């Protein structure tokens, strides 16, 4: 390969890497009204929700996937029950949701955000943990917590990405 072509190829590679790094999300946060906001890699600010009914916002390690729980609309005022019936996943400028009743008690990202796990169940006692692919929302794995001892649960269950 001639030196000019090597230089051009190297320059194009650096340009592509710079453009790729500029994408994604720098930050996700809840504003004072309880709405989800993100700052893109390019520094653009976007408000993703407008109802102020969001709790438990998380940005995945891939900086491309954000998740949040929607507060239950049927809860009495002042009730402090954690959880939601709906988890919203925002990725590549699209929002999709996962629902589980009675509550999604917690959620966490796995595999850099390519998967998301939920802990679904009632207020007390064991529930069900379910792992989904964030792109397709296809269920990847699940188990009932009452049937699987803590030391025998899959790696994705430990809530440490």
Structural domain boundaries, residue 31: 3-158
DSSP class of residue 127 equals -
Note the pLDDT tens digit of each residue in 64-108: 999 999 987 655 555 555 568 899 999 999 999 999 988 898 999
User: Domains in the chain: how many in total?
Assistant: 1
The model carries a pTM of 0.79
Relative to beta strand 115-121, strand 94-110 is: antiparallel
- Sequence-distant (6+) residues with CB within 8 A of 89 are 65, 66, 67, 95, 96, 97, 98, 116, 134, 137
Specify the DSSP element, H or E, that contains 139: strand 139-144
Cα–Cα dist 36/46, whole Å: 9
Confidence of residue 14 (pLDDT cuts 50, 70, 90): very low
CA–CA separation, 68 and 105 (whole Å): 12
pLDDT score for 124: 80
Nearest-Å Rg of the Cα atoms of the chain is 20
What number is the average pLDDT over the span 99-122? Answer: 93
**Cα gap 24→61, rounded to integer Å:** 11
pLDDT reported for residue 101? 86
Contacts with 59 (C-beta within 8 Å, 6 or more apart), sequence order: 25, 27, 28, 65, 66
Which CATH number covers residue 153? 2.40.128
Say how far apart CA 118 and CA 99 lie, in whole Å: 10
């Amino acid at each position: 390969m001639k030196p000019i072509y090597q230089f051009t190829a190297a320059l194009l590679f650096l340009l592509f890497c710079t453009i790729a790094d500029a994408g994604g999300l720098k930050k996700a946060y809840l504003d004072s009204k309880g709405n989800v906001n993100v700052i893109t890699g390019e520094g653009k600010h976007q408000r993703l929700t407008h109802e102020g009914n969001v709790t438990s916002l998380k940005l995945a390690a891939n900086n491309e996937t954000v998740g949040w729980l929607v507060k239950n609309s049927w809860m009495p005022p002042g009730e402090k029950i954690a959880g939601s019936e709906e988890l919203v996943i925002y990725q590549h400028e699209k929002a999709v949701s996962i629902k589980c009743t009675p509550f999604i008690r917690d959620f966490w990202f796995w595999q850099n955000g390519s998967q998301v796990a939920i802990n679904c169940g009632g207020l007390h006692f064991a529930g069900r943990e379910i792992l989904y692919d964030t792109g397709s929302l296809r269920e990847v794995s699940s188990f009932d917590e009452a049937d699987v001892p803590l030391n025998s649960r899959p790696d994705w269950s430990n809530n440490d990405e």
